[in-house]
Amino acid sequence: MDKRLAWITGGGTGIGRTLALKLAADGWQVVVSGRRPEPLAETAGHAPQAIHPWPLDVGDLAAVRRSVPAIEAAHGPIALAVLNAGIYEPVKLDNFKGETFAAHMQVNFLGVVNCMDALLPPMRARKSGHMVLVASVAGYRGLPLAAAYGPTKAALINLAESMKGMFERAGLTLSICNPGFVETPLTEGNVFPMPFLMTVDDAAEALYRGIKRRKFEIAFPTRFVLILKVLRALPYALYFPLIKRMTGR
């Protein structure tokens, strides 16, 4: 398309912001969404002719349903949607609260579902469109401190696997992105070792390469992904001692 439009949720910081800049540099028009207007405006300020801020809480289904047609009315059909909004809070026994889990599910999982709900009708009508659900390698198997975050990412992986065939039959493309540790605001407070830590630029570049290739699973960094996939296949008698040795937890 002469004027391709991408929509990125969680586009004010981290991978979302860096991907928006890469897309804009490659000729895309990009709408970036998030709950806080200031980071969105800062992202848009890097390429004001190509990046457009659209404040939105993806956990609000009614607001998302209003926003998608409004975005398309203002900027054209959404060809690519990168559903990237997410939160992370480490969970220990002394801060275990149901509200923490509910908040993670509302943003990380239901926020993606809400966007899919609003995007599917226009994309199906056009028989064209690509959605990328941003999950995490933390969704492969239970990891220490990720008790609230990991299940939401596992749910996204399962959702993508469940929907892939239906998307293809409708002429649509569905991808699941599983990053490892990336230097973003979500990880800057981590006090534990983060193996194979990637810069946000390298992570966004890996994601963009996967998008252009229309891969189903876009996972990086490769060595870390392979290690975790091997761990996923291990019986508990081997898995838990290895994780304790690797993380100290």
Q: How confident is the model at residue 95 (pLDDT cuts 50, 70, 90)?
A: very high
Cα 88 from Cα 65, distance rounded (Å): 25
Cα 7 from Cα 182, distance rounded (Å): 21
Helix (H) or strand (E) holding 55: strand 51-55
Segments forming the whole domain that contains residue 197: 5-247
Q: What is the pLDDT of residue 2?
A: 47
Split into its structural domains, the chain has a count of 1
Catalytic residue from among 149, 208, 236, 239 = 149
Q: What is the pLDDT of residue 192?
A: 59
Instruction: Over range 122-146, report the average pLDDT.
Output: 96
Q: Is 149 a catalytic residue?
A: yes
Tokens standing for 88? 């992370």
73 has a pLDDT exceeding 50 = yes
Distance in angstroms between the alpha carbons of the first and the last residue of the chain: 50
Q: Are 24 and 5 contacting, i.e. CB atoms less than 8 angstroms apart?
A: no
Task: Name the average pLDDT for the chain.
Answer: 94
68 to 51, 55, 77, 117, 156: CA distances (angstroms)? 16, 12, 9, 10, 21
CATH number at residue 226: 3.40.50.720
**Per-residue pLDDT tens over the stretch 199-234:** 999 999 999 999 999 999 999 999 999 999 999 999
Instruction: Over range 46-59, report the average pLDDT.
Output: 97
- Which of 110, 123, 63, 103 shows the shortest CA–CA distance to 83? 110
